[in-house]
Amino acid sequence: MPIITGLEKKTIVITGGANGIGRATAQSFAAENARVIIVDINPDALSKTKLALDKLGYEIETYTLDVSNSEAVEACFSSIKERFKSIDVLVNNAGILKDRSLLKMSYDEWDAVINVNLKGVFNCGKVAAAIMVEQGSGVILNASSVVGLYGNYGQSNYVATKSGVIGMTKVWARELGSKGIRVNAVAPGFISTDILKDMPDDILQKLAAKAPLKRLGTPEDVANAYVFLASDQATFITGTTLSVDGGVIT
């Protein structure tokens, strides 16, 4: 039964929605009786996620999309708008990692992360915003990270994108607020996803120890933040970055 108001039958588009935080976010919005569309570059992962959520009784629509390709984003979002008549919430969740220290990072590794994590957010935000302006309402939620606030060793490219997302969020909130559109960012801390699965247990324990709550976050912790920020309970919140990090200490 839905517990958050204002989301029933709303059209929610989640990028990078086939795995991890994106998948948990899709399930959380579906539980609120929202119309959920997940887009992802990996068609096999999309199929598996759709099958799994269908088995739970959730009807999820899927589209294969490379968010770094602006023309593909325009075509995909136009198709979604034509079919479902609106895009009420965009969750800009798609992102990649290619970690390496500054002196070892290649130009290709820099470009790859910038293209997905920053340009991809811009591409999707720009197209979704145009649709929302026409509607007179909408919510855009951008995935940042705790490292975008505090930095992290070996992540010049990733940190640059996540800091940039915070900046874009503030700008978009100023530009779009008068048009009925709210824009916020979520900054997860250390979350138990596939990105961490290959890390040794002692390293994971150290990561958990950095947070006063003494645990790693779950994808559902982040998904809950997205659902709240999209809901009617958050109608006076815009231009902010919500940290979901267990109070992590840098």
Distance, CA of 245 to CA of 147 (rounded, Å): 10
**Residue 227 forms part of a structural domain:** yes
**Residue 73 forms part of a structural domain:** yes
Distance of CA 11 to the CA centre of its chain: 15
End-to-end CA separation in angstroms for the chain = 38
CATH, residue 18: 3.40.50.720
**Residue 92 forms part of a structural domain:** yes
Assigned token pair, 75: 């075509």
Query: In this structure, what is the dihedral angle of CA atoms 165, 147, 16, 143, given to the nearest 10 degrees?
Result: -40
**Residue 35 forms part of a structural domain:** yes
Distance, CA of 16 to CA of 14 (rounded, Å): 7
Residues 6+ apart with CB under 8 A from 197: none
**Residue 47 forms part of a structural domain:** yes
**Residue 6 forms part of a structural domain:** no
Name the 3-class secondary structure at 48. Answer: helix
**Residue 4 forms part of a structural domain:** no
Assigned token pair, 218: 């779950």
119: which DSSP letter?
I
For residues 6 and 17, is the Cβ–Cβ distance under 8 A?
Answer: no
143: β partners: 186
For residues 189 and 244, is the Cβ–Cβ distance under 8 A?
Answer: yes
Distance, CA of 111 to CA of 116 (rounded, Å): 9
Q: How many domains in the chain?
A: 1
Q: What is the pTM of this model?
A: 0.94
Ordered per-residue pLDDT tens for the chain, 250 residues: 555 678 999 999 999 999 999 999 999 999 999 999 999 999 999 999 999 999 999 989 999 999 999 999 999 999 999 999 999 999 999 999 999 999 999 999 999 999 999 999 999 999 999 999 999 999 999 999 999 999 989 999 999 999 999 999 999 999 999 999 999 999 999 888 877 776 778 878 887 888 889 888 999 999 999 999 999 999 999 999 999 999 986 6
Q: How does strand 89-92 pair with strand 138-143?
A: parallel
**Residue 249 forms part of a structural domain:** no
Domain that holds residue 175: 11-243
Active site residues: 158
